[in-house]
Amino acid sequence: MEICYNEIKSYPVIGKIYHAYVVVTDEKGNKTFYRGGPSGNGDGASKPSGSITGKPGKYGNIECHSGTHEDGSFDFPKKKGDEGWNNDHDQNCVCKTIIDNSDPAGPTKKKLDGMIDNINKNAIPYKIFGPNSNSVAAQLIVGLVGDKDKRPKPPKGIVAPGSGDEVDILPPMRKP
């Protein structure tokens, strides 16, 4: 299992901003992505936008998805000229292996599916600096390893706002 960081935008003062997501590779080499992003009026990309107030802004709540990680899917690194990538270079992508073992991927994927379902049900506002998509990726790792001190930090030189923020991966509380 890896946590990956894709470049999403570059700003003159702070440099490149990255979006984090998780990739699980099964025994046959098939890859599945797990990601968060804004549910609102965004263009489908996880970009640093939304509200800083705690109420859903124009980008709504955090919305999680999973699927096959392949060319053309969410977060698959883009090449210069690809649709949706308006930069003069290939999209930078950095991945870090978090869990490397021979265990079957099925139980891991089932647990991740449950966590992203709970995040969606918890209606967490998407905020510029977190919680956001980067918070989701880091929290999924914490949820799998069961230790908040093992929260992954972006590699040196990677700016991923919100990656230190927690999101609730537990089922929503039932109201009496």
SS (H, E, C) the chain: CEEEEEEEEEECCCEEEEEEEEEEECCCCCEEEEEEEECCCCCCCCCCCCECCCCCECCEEEEEEEEECCCCCCCCCCCCCCCCCCCCCCCCEEEEECCCCCCCHHHHHHHHHHHHHHHHHCCCECECCCCCHHHHHHHHHHHHHCCHHHCCCCCCCCECCCCCCCCCCCCCCCCC
The mean pLDDT of 116-133, rounded to a whole number, is 93
Question: Given a cut of 70, is residue 165 above it in pLDDT?
Answer: yes
Is pTM, for the whole model, over 0.95?
Answer: no
Which of the two residues, 175 and 102, has the higher pLDDT score?
102
Question: Which of the four pLDDT bands, split at 50, 70 and 90, describes residue 29?
Answer: very high
Predicted pLDDT of residue 126: 93
Question: Given a cut of 90, is residue 51 above it in pLDDT?
Answer: no
Which range is least confidently modeled, 47-56, 94-103, 154-163? 47-56
Q: What are the sequence ranges of the domains in the chain?
A: 2-150
Predicted pLDDT of residue 66: 96
For the chain, give the mean pLDDT: 85
Question: Given a cut of 90, is residue 124 above it in pLDDT?
Answer: yes
Distance CA 17, CA 150 (A): 23
Predicted pLDDT of residue 11: 76
Which of the two residues, 53 and 56, has the higher pLDDT score?
56
Which of the two residues, 49 and 139, has the higher pLDDT score?
139
Which range is least confidently modeled, 38-47, 142-151, 162-171? 38-47
The mean pLDDT of 3-16, rounded to a whole number, is 84
Question: Given a cut of 50, is residue 48 above it in pLDDT?
Answer: no
